[in-house]
């Protein structure tokens, strides 16, 4: 299936219809303006979830599914409630139901989730998707489950067979599922204005860096970073935070430090070194990457003999950013180091990396 691209820069329709790249280091949704999204490496998210499973000795897929379900439920509820519920009224009409799910499938492919195909749908009863080269199946299953529950306005259950190469995800109505009154509406934290400016396409007005940086295979539903060949996906920040919150509630506060440590290791081992000799400039180049990915806006970078101090405005995740900065430090300098950070309460955080 050929999906529309911008005739000038070549970006897929979903990218320009679904998201807005702002000058403050954030990427926000067009459909639901209260939603932030972020571009992350597919194997990076797998590494985090697999790393937590290995450290605690348990399969966390059910916890991931529940966190994703809540995020998918919140996002779809917010979408269905737009224009005083008119969106939901129209979308739930039996005559347009298949068209709605067909659009969701196309959007999923454009977001890099894999070659998603609508295998079967029965109104309010069943949805079956087949995905080749799927993004993390537990994440996909949970998000689809929450979206279907919001769309159908009734509880359901999800199952999947297969792995990333080919998976079949089935969502079925299940009245026995007990759901609390969950209206976890997507929300934007405090956002500070920024001055991040990019060259934009004259036709679709999206950043030209996106078309230079990423290659989108719309038939396979895969987006890759041109310079590294690594696969990227576009995910909601609320989705990641919901999973991390669910993991913390189930496993305890030590999950936060686990995430920092695992992200540190991933970044340390997978960072491509900038082609500059000056260490300050090198850190500047590495951290500048946060903006185009929607992870935040690094506004201050200070490197001394003993420590690195970074101020990041509009951070997407305290733990992932703390681990990321520490990973950059270890990749660039190769020295033992520890990290501390301040909580994001007023739209910014400080990350300090120092020698022990």
Residue 68 and residue 239 in contact, taking contact as beta carbons nearer than 8 Å: yes
For the chain, the structural domain boundaries read: 1-252, 253-354
* pLDDT score of 208: 94
Residue 344 exposure: Cα atoms within 13 Å on the Cβ side: 23
Instruction: Give the Cα separation of 322 and 308 in Å (integer).
Output: 12
Instruction: Give the Cα separation of 171 and 154 in Å (integer).
Output: 12
- CATH of region 253-354: 3.30.1380.20
> Which DSSP string do the residues of 341-353 spell out, in sequence order?
E---SSSEEEEEE
* pLDDT score of 95: 92
pLDDT averaged over 10-residue windows placed end to end, the chain, 356 residues:
74 82 90 82 96 94 92 88 90 92 86 94 95 96 94 95 96 87 53 87 91 92 94 91 89 94 97 84 94 96 94 96 97 93 94 94
* pLDDT score of 303: 94
pTM of full prediction above 0.85: yes
- Left if phi > 0, otherwise alpha if psi is -120 to 50, otherwise beta: which for 133? left
> Which DSSP string do the residues of 75-134 spell out, in sequence order?
HHHHHHTGGGGHHHHHHT-TTTHHHHHHHHHHHHHHTT--EEEEEEEETTTEEEEEEES-
* pLDDT score of 188: 55
CA distances from 255 to 4, 21, 247, 261 (A): 41, 31, 7, 10
* pLDDT score of 1: 42
Instruction: Give the Cα separation of 209 and 222 in Å (integer).
Output: 18
Residue 194 and residue 311 in contact, taking contact as beta carbons nearer than 8 Å: no
Instruction: Give the Cα separation of 32 and 28 in Å (integer).
Output: 8
């Amino acid at each position: 299936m050929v999906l529309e691209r911008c005739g000038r820069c070549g970006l897929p329709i979903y990218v320009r219809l679904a998201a807005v790249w702002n000058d403050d280091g954030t990427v926000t949704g067009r459909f639901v303006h209260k939603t932030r999204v972020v571009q992350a490496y597919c194997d990076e998210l797998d590494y985090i979830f697999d790393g937590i499973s290995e450290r605690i000795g348990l399969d966390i897929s059910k916890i991931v599914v529940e966190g994703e379900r809540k995020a998918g439920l919140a996002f779809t509820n917010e979408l269905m409630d737009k224009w005083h519920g008119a969106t939901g009224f129209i979308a739930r009409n039996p005559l347009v139901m298949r068209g709605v799910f067909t659009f969701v499938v196309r959007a999923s492919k454009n977001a890099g989730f894999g070659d998603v195909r609508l295998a079967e749908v029965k109104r309010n009863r069943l949805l079956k998707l087949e995905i080749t080269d799927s993004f993390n199946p537990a994440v996909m299953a949970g998000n689809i489950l929450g979206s279907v529950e919001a769309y159908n306005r009734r509880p359901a259950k999800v199952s999947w067979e297969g792995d990333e190469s080919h998976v079949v995800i089935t969502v079925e109505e299940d009245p026995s599922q007990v759901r609390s009154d969950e209206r976890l509406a997507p929300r934007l934290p405090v956002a500070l204005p920024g001055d991040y400016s990019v060259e934009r396409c004259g036709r679709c007005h999206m950043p030209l860096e996106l078309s230079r940086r990423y290659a989108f295979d719309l038939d396979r539903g895969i987006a890759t970073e041109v310079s590294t060949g690594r696969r990227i996906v576009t995910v909601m920040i609320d989705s990641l935070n919901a999973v991390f919150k669910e993991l913390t509630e189930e496993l305890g506060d030590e999950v936060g430090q686990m995430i920092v440590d695992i992200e540190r290791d991933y970044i340390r081992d997978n960072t491509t070194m900038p082609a500059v000799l000056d260490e300050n400039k090198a850190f500047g180049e590495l951290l500048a990457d946060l903006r185009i990915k929607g992870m935040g806006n690094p506004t201050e970078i200070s490197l001394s003999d003993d420590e690195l101090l970074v101020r990041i405005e509009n951070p997407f995740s305290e733990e992932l950013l703390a681990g990321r900065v520490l990973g950059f430090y270890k990749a660039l300098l190769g020295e033992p180091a520890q990290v501390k950070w301040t909580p994001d309460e007023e739209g910014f955080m400080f990350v300090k990396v120092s020698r022990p």
